[in-house]
């Protein structure tokens, strides 16, 4: 796996999370480069210029928080680096995860051969219906048996970005599709019917977010949708209708 690069996104002053990740990686015999996260509480004018507020209100439904923009840029700049340095595949991790001992074997099995031709494989999900799938829609189709797990292809969004494998081709697609920020990075990747990145997930999940770590994004205001202007509400409803139609069309085409 000499061509695989491993990255951990970590705020430079967050020494406790860095130590937590170093301990886990050492126990698994993995090395990784710690990459400074973009601090959403110290965005530059150039950072803010990448935010498309009008599209965010239409697609995401609310204004993004600065910390969401910072998280987005942390991942996006790694995609830029993958292309710039010609990195074939990378394991990207956030610093608040718990890693299963099965992860190294799973990764080795995933990159040992090119079939199926995935671009991104999510190793963690925040969506309960995906984590504990009880219906075909959320379970997906098992396309490959791995060590102690299976690789599943989905036709639904995954949610969550704690850890994932991404090929350079996937990074290139995200660079093209996500050059203007309009929703959190994991949800941007989840728009598979637009960005061309088919969702894949490993189940049982080898990575989980630790609940005892406070979110660096921060609490999202519970009433963010309240008081929006009528044109914004109408644009949002039209966008959701359009997304629903295109997702169904995407599913039909892929079944065919």
Residue 113 has pLDDT above 70, yes or no: yes
Chain-centre distance for alpha carbon 64: 16
The pLDDT value recorded for residue 149 is 94
The rounded mean pLDDT for the chain is 93
Assess contact for 118 and 197: CB atoms under 8 A. no
- Read off the tokens for 19: 């130590």
Residue 11 has pLDDT above 70, yes or no: yes
Q: How confident is the model at residue 2 (pLDDT cuts 50, 70, 90)?
A: low
Identify the sign of the CA torsion 76, 81, 86, 90.
Answer: negative
Identify the sign of the CA torsion 246, 250, 251, 256.
Answer: positive
The pLDDT value recorded for residue 195 is 97
How many whole angstroms separate alpha carbon 150 and alpha carbon 94? Answer: 23
The pLDDT value recorded for residue 147 is 79
Residue 128 has pLDDT above 70, yes or no: yes
For the ranges 12-26, 47-61, 102-116, 208-222, the lowest mean pLDDT is seen at 208-222
How many whole angstroms separate alpha carbon 102 and alpha carbon 95? Answer: 18
Look at the chain and report how many structural domains it folds into. Answer: 1
Closest CA to 68 of 49, 44, 51: 51
Cβ atoms < 10 Å from Cβ of 218: 13
The pLDDT value recorded for residue 215 is 82
* Number of alpha carbons in the 13 Å side-chain half-sphere of residue 114: 2
What average pLDDT does range 61-78 have in this prediction?
A: 96
Residue 120 has pLDDT above 60, yes or no: yes
- Looking up residue 82, the CATH number of its domain turns out to be 3.90.550
How many whole angstroms separate alpha carbon 81 and alpha carbon 94? Answer: 17
| Rounded percentage of the chain residues whose pLDDT exceeds 70 | 99
The pLDDT value recorded for residue 227 is 73
The pLDDT value recorded for residue 256 is 54
The pLDDT value recorded for residue 228 is 83
Domain that holds residue 184: 4-255
- pLDDT, tens digit, for every residue of 170-229? 999 999 999 999 999 999 999 999 999 999 999 999 999 998 888 888 777 777 777 788
What average pLDDT does range 229-242 have in this prediction?
A: 92
- pLDDT, tens digit, for every residue of 131-174? 999 998 899 999 999 978 999 999 899 999 999 999 999 999 99
Residue 51 has pLDDT above 80, yes or no: yes
């Amino acid at each position: 796996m000499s061509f695989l690069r491993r990255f951990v996104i970590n705020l430079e002053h967050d020494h406790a999370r860095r130590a937590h990740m170093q301990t886990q990686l050492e126990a698994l015999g993995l090395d990784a480069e710690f990459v400074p996260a973009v601090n959403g509480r110290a965005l530059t004018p150039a950072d803010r210029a990448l935010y498309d507020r009008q599209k965010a209100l239409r697609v995401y439904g609310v204004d993004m928080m600065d910390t969401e923009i910072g998280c987005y840029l942390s991942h996006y700049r790694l995609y830029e680096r993958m292309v710039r340095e010609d990195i074939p595949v990378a394991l990207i991790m956030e610093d608040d995860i718990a890693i299963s001992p099965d992860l190294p074997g799973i990764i080795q099995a995933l990159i040992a051969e090119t079939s199926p031709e995935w671009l991104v494989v999510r190793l963690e999900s925040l969506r309960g219906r995906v984590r504990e799938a009880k219906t075909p829609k959320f379970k997906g189709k098992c396309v490959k048996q791995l060590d102690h797990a299976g690789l599943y292809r989905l036709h639904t969004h995954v949610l969550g970005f704690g850890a994932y494998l991404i090929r350079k081709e996937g990074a290139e697609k995200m660079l093209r599709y996500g050059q203007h920020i309009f929703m959190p990075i994991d949800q941007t990747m989840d728009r598979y019917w637009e960005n061309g990145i088919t969702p894949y997930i490993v189940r049982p999940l080898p990575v989980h977010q630790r609940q005892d770590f406070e979110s660096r994004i921060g609490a999202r205001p519970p009433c963010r949708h309240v008081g929006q202007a009528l044109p914004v509400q109408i644009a949002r409803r039209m966008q959701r209708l359009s997304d629903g139609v295109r997702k169904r069309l995407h599913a039909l085409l892929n079944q065919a």
